[in-house]
Structure 1
């Protein structure tokens, strides 16, 4: 799926609470699907690729928490990255997509996560990124 900016408006709504900075919607394979107004497309694409890796690592540590290796879909809920004065939260946003929001250290993390979940529930189908069927074929 190519980035076309049609979902960007949704992410501006995710930033409607105090201390949030940026929001991006990315596919499971790290492609940018949408970004909020305050971040450039180039930076959003860079962050989408990085967050794809962070989420993948998070999901693959389920065994460290006692989940069986053979579980196809461990019960991952979110990834939180903490800095001295900022956070990044990433959650599932429909099949094959993740929603990520950055915020200052003054954000109410619980409220931010809740608002992200509400956005995903309300706009779920639009946020879904189906698997690419032609991933292994040549054009």
Structure 2
């Protein structure tokens, strides 16, 4: 499932707190599923691909925390990227999906993370991106 605009409204809700900037919902393979208002489609698609890589790297550091290196699904929950004056927070958002929010340095990170997790819990099934199955047809 690619970005078709039907889930965009829920991301605007994630931005309902002060100091948040943008939000995107992406699939585990880096496809954009939804974006908040004010974020251009090309920028949202580029960020979805980049943040998919960030999540992959984060998951692959599980061994550094004591998890088995061959653990197929390490229990990753979220990743925080910090800049001089901004943050990006990425969390799991249903099967095969991630929710990312950017914010200024003045955001209450705990409240932002809490609100993101609440949104995922409330709308989790709609946010999920189940693994695509090969239908056997030639490409």
Distance 1:85 1:72, change over 3 A: same
Deviation for aligned residue 1:137? 5.5
For residues 82-101 of structure 1, what are the structure 2 equivalents within 5 Å? Answer: 82-101=82-101
**CA offsets 1:17-71 (integer angstroms, 9 cap, x no match):** 0000000000000000000002011100000000000010001100011111122
SS in 2 for 1:89: strand
SS in 1 for 2:53: helix
Distance 1:90 1:96, change over 3 A: same
Structure 1 partner of 2:63: 63
Q: Under a length normalisation based on structure 1, what TM-score does the superposition of the two structures give?
A: 0.96
May I ask how many residue pairs the two structures share in their alignment?
A: 139
Structure 1 partner of 2:3: 3
Distance 1:16 1:136, change over 3 A: farther
- Structure-1 separation of matches of 2:89 and 2:112: 9
- Structure-2 separation of matches of 1:54 and 1:135: 29
Q: Identify which range, 10-19 or 68-77, moves more after superposition.
A: 68-77
Matched, 1:46 2:34: no
Structure 1 partner of 2:14: 14
Matched, 1:75 2:81: no
- Structure-2 separation of matches of 1:135 and 1:96: 19
Q: Under a length normalisation based on structure 2, what TM-score does the superposition of the two structures give?
A: 0.96
Give the 4+ runs in structure 1 shifted more than 6 A: none
SS in 1 for 2:4: coil
Deviation for aligned residue 1:2? 2.1
- Structure-1 separation of matches of 2:43 and 2:75: 30
Indicate the RMSD between aligned Cα atoms, in angstroms. 1.3
Structure 1, unaligned runs of 5 or more: none
